Amino acid sequence: MAEAERIIGTPDSAGADESAASDGTEAPVGRPRGRRRILALFVVALLAYLLDLGSKILVVEKLEGREPIRVIGDLLRFDAIRNPGAAFGMGEAFTIIFTCIAAAVIVVIIRLARKLYSLPWAIALGLLLGGALGNLTDRIFRSPGVFEGAVVDFIAPAHFAVFNLADSAIVCGGILIVILSFRGLDPDGTVHKD
């Protein structure tokens, strides 16, 4: 079990709030135990957000209104589209609801960050946060209006829906959360067996 905890990450022991110092007295309150994990969450979120935002700016500037670019023959192309709905273009009439859901996800992740002591969970939640922020930015600032904006999608694999880097970050974060849950690792760094 100690080997598993070492591999998947557990609460920090160095620099953590310890209940007693080596001489048996109360240890002074130091840095919060999950501070590095919270920093990791926000760094991953910022990277995911900036990559998504930069790619969308480039796509709108260079690709929108033009012929798709074939990247790998017929298997993959870049094709700028505006998606007012959810994933796979579903739910176009519910753009405001998707905007509210994305905002709620962001709030939940930020609140959960206070109890975060696992680096893998920090990475997973950072991907979710960055992806949600990327698509929420489109929903707020793109036409046709505030909270009704269409998301810029451009990655078009053959026989699949067109998506963007924010969608990719959300899916990767979700898959990582499922894997961590199956492995028994909780966001607080504890490992349990069911």
Q: Which of 42, 185, 65, 54 lies closest to 127, judged by CA?
A: 42
Catalytic residue, candidates 79, 167, 186, 194: 167
How far is CA 134 from each of CA 16, 41, 88, 115, 161, rounded to the nearest angstrom?
33, 15, 17, 24, 18
Q: How far, in Å, CA of 108 to CA of 129, rounded?
A: 10
Is the separation of the CB atoms in 168 and 131 below 8 Å?
A: yes
Q: Are 65 and 59 in contact (CB under 8 A)?
A: no
167 catalytic residue (yes or no): yes
Catalytic residue among 153, 186, 188, 194: 153
Question: What six digits make up the tokens of 137?
Answer: 């930015």
Query: Active-site residue 74, yes or no?
Result: no
| Cα distances (angstroms) measured from residue 122 to each of 25, 52, 135, 159, 166 | 32, 19, 20, 33, 17
Instruction: Report the SS3 class of residue 64.
Output: coil
37: which strand partners?
A: none
Strand-pairing partners, residue 69, are: 78
- Catalytic residue set: 153, 167
